[in-house]
Every structure is written in structure tokens, then in C-alpha cells.
């Protein structure tokens, strides 16, 4: 392992994700540093200034700390949560990685456009991740509409969203009006 790889790996392990901003993009895939996929968009859901791609959802911070980092304890909730991304490249491959945390068990459905990517479960007091490939057919040109839907539990929640790609170009926020409110939770 060379010095740059060692430094990058150490920085990723030591730096809290909530401190990383869009200006820090791209970074290597934090779960698999050897992966060709890099982070091209990030939302710390529930932190009003760190969720630039949020279209619809309400902010909340869970009081049950469990095993969660501050970034995992903050979330966006609703029956339907929407995020929008632009500047996707036609030939690039994309994935979405979600970090989930909850105060009650919840099951969510994740969609890109109208394509169901899969389901994930948020457990009481436990942080979990779910990762899904985003098929090119689920994108609308250079745009991606990501929807997180409630299946079971009180509502859908998501704490962090990372869009990963084999093309390092950062994504931008969709330029469309907000469909609902997103306010800081109690």
C-alpha cells in the first residue's frame, strides 16, 4: 500500500461523513476502496444545509442514539421521500448507497424513476446500509429521480444518500421546485 492510499484510507476512517461536503468529491468507495466507483453526490439527510438534492421530505433527528453517528441519527422522513440529481453521464454506471437508522422497524422501497431498485429495512437503534445499482433505463437523460417509499412502520426514513459512479464527475441538484416542505424536526 503506497502513502497516498494509506493516507486516503486513514482519512476516510477518521473523518466523520457529516464533515464531508460536495467540495470534497470525489472520494473512493468507503466500503470498498478498491472499487472503481467514486462518490459523485452526497446528502446528509435531515441536515438542512447538507441535503442539496432533497425535493420532498421532512427533517428529523432521532433521540435514541443506538449505534448511530450524528449523520445517521439525522434523517428525512415521509410516506414518499424524493431526491433529484442532474448531470449524469450517458455511458457511466451509477449506484445508490443508503444509510438507514430508526426508532422503530421500518421497511422502505427504493425507486429510480419508475424502476424499483429494491427494498431495505431500518432497525430500531441500529445503523444499516443498502446499496442498489441504478440501471441506465431508470434515468431520464442526464436526470435521476430517486424515491424512497414507505412499506411498513410509521413512515419511510433515510439518513444518508451517496450516489456512486465509475465516472468521477460530480452530480448537481435538479433545478425544479420543492414538492413539499422540509423543516428541522423537533
> Can you give the pLDDT of all 186 residues of the chain as single tens digits?
554 444 334 344 334 433 444 444 444 455 566 678 999 999 999 999 999 999 999 999 998 777 788 899 999 999 999 999 999 999 999 999 999 999 999 999 999 999 999 999 999 999 999 999 999 999 999 999 999 999 999 999 999 999 999 999 999 998 654 443 333 333
**186 within a domain of the structure (yes/no):** no
pLDDT of residue 26: 41
C-alpha cell at 25: 468529491
**181 within a domain of the structure (yes/no):** no
pLDDT of residue 176: 57
Q: In b/e form, how buried is each residue of 41-51, taking b as 16+ CB within 10 angstroms?
A: bbbbbbbeebb
pLDDT of residue 19: 40
Instruction: Determine the Cα–Cα distance for residues 40 and 144; give it in Å rounded to an integer.
Output: 13
**136 within a domain of the structure (yes/no):** yes
In degrees and rounded to multiples of 5, residue 108 shows phi and psi of -125, 155
Q: What CATH number does the domain containing 77 carry? A: 2.60.120.260
pLDDT of residue 67: 79
Residue 92 buriedness (CB in 10 A; 0-12 / 13-18 / 19+): middle
**185 within a domain of the structure (yes/no):** no
Domain enclosing residue 130, as ranges = 3-173
**163 within a domain of the structure (yes/no):** yes
- Comparing CA positions, the residue from 22, 37, 62 lying closest to residue 165 is 37
Domain count, the chain: 1
**21 within a domain of the structure (yes/no):** yes
**182 within a domain of the structure (yes/no):** no
**122 within a domain of the structure (yes/no):** yes
Amino acid at each position: 500500500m503506497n502513502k497516498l492510499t494509506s493516507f486516503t484510507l486513514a482519512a476516510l476512517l477518521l473523518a466523520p461523513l457529516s464533515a464531508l461536503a460536495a467540495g470534497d468529491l470525489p472520494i473512493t468507495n468507503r466500503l470498498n476502496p478498491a472499487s472503481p466507483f467514486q462518490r459523485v453526490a452526497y446528502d446528509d439527510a435531515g441536515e438542512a444545509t447538507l441535503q442539496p438534492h432533497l425535493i420532498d421530505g421532512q427533517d428529523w433527528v432521532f433521540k435514541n442514539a443506538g449505534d448511530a453517528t450524528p449523520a445517521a441519527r439525522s434523517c428525512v422522513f415521509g410516506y414518499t421521500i424524493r431526491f433529484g440529481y442532474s448531470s449524469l453521464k450517458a455511458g457511466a454506471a451509477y449506484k445508490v448507497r443508503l444509510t438507514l437508522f430508526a426508532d422503530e422497524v421500518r421497511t422502505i422501497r427504493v425507486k429510480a424513476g419508475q424502476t424499483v431498485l429494491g427494498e431495505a429495512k431500518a432497525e430500531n437503534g441500529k445503523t444499516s446500509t443498502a446499496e442498489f445499482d441504478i440501471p441506465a433505463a431508470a434515468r431520464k437523460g442526464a436526470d435521476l429521480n430517486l424515491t424512497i417509499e414507505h412499506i411498513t412502520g410509521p413512515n419511510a426514513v433515510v439518513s444518508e444518500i451517496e450516489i456512486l459512479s465509475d465516472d468521477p464527475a460530480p452530480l448537481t441538484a435538479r433545478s425544479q421546485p420543492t414538492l413539499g416542505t422540509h423543516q428541522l424536526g423537533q
